[in-house]
């Protein structure tokens, strides 16, 4: 008797059909969001300033500015309009700029690819991989890429997409391709992955591109340093000694190595885990902290504990150092919706402006990154504090966005 295969089971076929329908619905939903992004950008064209200078003849750059997020031929838009769209869809300002720019790039410079995306035939993420690489192209080269990729983009792998874009761009503009090759040295970089330290238990990945001769010199230094460490640490293997040698590059025994780490621990906790401020490494063990602080040549500074519930005031406009530290420990990032910029790199904003009677007190101070500080000051956004860690923002269109830094995001201070 013939056995029926599992794929002939009607229930399993129904499951596959439902999965196919869900996949199409997901692509169409993403396409709708992509279309709305383009429409939002079109509805907020780049502002036209009568004069970019004030009465003193100085350049004014604090208010809303025109920005070009896509390539030649696509419209510009209002910089401040990015913030409202990003907040509405749960993106950071950087993510919002990238998403809006990709939508404009696709709609105005890659119309064939755009049409396939709107029909759900091509996933938006694939379209964005293309737009990332076509912004720099002139309109003729972009149109060439559009014509070459539109018919096959739906079935291409990422590697195939990248290769096809680069090849089509080179074919459309061989002189540019040659210029890129000659200018390749401009792509040199060195990335130290502090933001993913928590994924590696305190170890930091490093990557980059160096000029060949620089790479040879670096290799020689690390090789020599690893060999020197063999005398002190004969028990360590070569990989560990090379990593340690890289950490010692440029070191000067006469200059103390200062480690600034904000570690917080409750005295009534029995475990040996401390939370580490900064977001790169969420925690460390007591032993790990001790190792960092006792390395030869390291200078250790102990800073006082602050009471986050204390209401600190000053009659001056500029916040005191204690107020700034208290604000950072209370809300460790920019308090604008979805922004993740660390508070230590932010401005300390008067929630109610000082010029409007707002005092320089703990309750009236909050960290804002420079972009969102400008958006609040010049873009029509308002906000007020609802609790020590809570804020309610109102957009120029009247939408509200609550932000709350709950206990698991606050810095422990006892």
> What one-character-per-residue DSSP string does 243-282 give?
HHHHHTTT--TTS-EE----EE--TT--S-EEEETTSS-S
pLDDT score at 408: 40
Stated length of the chain = 414
pLDDT score at 391: 96
Question: Taking Cα atoms as reference points, which of 116, 98, 105 lies closest to residue 142?
Answer: 105
Tell me what the mean pLDDT of segment 67-73 comes to. 93
Mapped onto helix, strand or coil, the DSSP state of residue 350 is: strand
Handedness of CA 46, 48, 49, 52 (dihedral sign): positive
Question: Taking Cα atoms as reference points, which of 68, 133, 34, 31 lies closest to residue 149?
Answer: 133
Residue partners of 379: CB distance under 8 A and separation at least 6: 64, 80, 83, 396
Confidence of residue 282 (pLDDT cuts 50, 70, 90): low
8 A C-beta contact, residue 384 and residue 350? no
Question: Taking Cα atoms as reference points, which of 222, 220, 190 lies closest to residue 207?
Answer: 190
Q: Per-residue b/e over 222-255, b at no fewer than 16 CB within 10 Å?
A: beebbeebeeeeeeeeeeebbebbeeeeeeeeee
Lowest mean pLDDT among 213-227, 339-353, 387-401: 213-227
Count the helix, strand and coil residues of the chain and give each as a percent rounded to the nearest 5. 50, 15, 40
Sheet with 283-285, side-by-side order of all strands: 263-264, 273-276, 283-285
Tell me what the mean pLDDT of segment 360-373 comes to. 94
Confidence of residue 53 (pLDDT cuts 50, 70, 90): low
**pLDDT one-digit tens code per residue, 33-47:** 999 999 999 999 987
How many beta carbons lie within 10 A of that of residue 318, not counting itself? 11
Residue partners of 57: CB distance under 8 A and separation at least 6: none
Mean pLDDT of the chain: 82
pLDDT(316) > 50:
yes
Lowest mean pLDDT among 76-80, 106-110, 180-184: 180-184
pLDDT(321) > 50:
yes
pLDDT score at 265: 64
| Phi, psi (rounded to 5 degrees) for 365 | -120, 140
8 A C-beta contact, residue 333 and residue 341? yes
- The rounded percent of the chain whose pLDDT value lies above 70 is 74
pLDDT score at 118: 96
């Amino acid at each position: 008797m013939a056995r029926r295969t599992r794929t002939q089971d009607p229930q399993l076929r129904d499951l596959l059909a439902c999965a196919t329908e869900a996949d199409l619905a997901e692509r169409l939903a993403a396409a709708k969001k992509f279309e709305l992004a383009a429409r939002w950008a079109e509805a907020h064209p780049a502002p036209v300033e009568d004069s970019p200078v004030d009465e003193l003849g100085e350049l004014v750059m604090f208010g809303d500015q025109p920005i070009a997020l896509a390539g030649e031929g696509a419209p510009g838009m209002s910089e401040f309009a990015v913030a409202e769209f990003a907040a509405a869809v749960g993106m950071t300002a950087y993510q919002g700029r990238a998403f809006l720019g990709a939508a404009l790039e696709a709609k105005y410079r890659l119309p064939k690819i755009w049409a396939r995306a709107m029909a759900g035939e091509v996933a938006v993420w694939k379209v964005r991989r293309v737009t990332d690489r076509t912004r720099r192209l002139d309109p003729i080269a972009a149109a060439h890429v559009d014509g070459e990729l539109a018919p096959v983009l739906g079935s291409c792998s990422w590697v195939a997409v990248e290769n096809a874009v680069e090849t089509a761009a080179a074919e459309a503009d061989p002189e540019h391709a040659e210029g890129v090759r000659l200018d390749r040295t401009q792509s040199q970089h060195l990335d130290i992955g502090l933001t993913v330290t928590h994924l590696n238990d305190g170890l930091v990945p490093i990557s980059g591109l160096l000029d060949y001769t620089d790479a040879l010199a670096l290799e020689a230094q690390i090789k020599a340093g690893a060999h020197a460490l063999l005398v002190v640490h004969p028990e360590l293997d070569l990989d560990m000694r090379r990593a340690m040698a890289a950490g010692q590059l440029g070191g000067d025994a006469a200059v103390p190595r200062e480690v600034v780490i904000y570690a917080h621990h409750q005295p009534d906790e029995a475990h040996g885990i401390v939370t580490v401020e900064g977001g790169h490494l969420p925690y460390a063990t007591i032993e790990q902290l001790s190792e960092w602080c006792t390395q030869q040549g390291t200078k250790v500074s102990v800073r006082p504990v602050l009471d986050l519930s204390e209401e600190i005031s000053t009659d001056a406009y500029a916040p005191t150092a204690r107020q700034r530290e208290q604000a950072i420990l209370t809300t460790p990032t920019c308090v604008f919706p979805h922004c993740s910029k660390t508070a230590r790199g932010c401005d300390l904003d008067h929630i109610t402006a000082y010029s409007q009677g707002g005092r320089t007190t703990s309750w009236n101070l909050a960290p804002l990154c420079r972009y969102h500080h400008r958006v609040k000051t010049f873009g029509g956004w308002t906000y007020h504090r609802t609790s020590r860690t809570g804020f309610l923002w109102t957009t120029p269109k009247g939408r509200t966005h609550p932000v709350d830094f709950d206990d698991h995001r606050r810095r422990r201070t006892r």
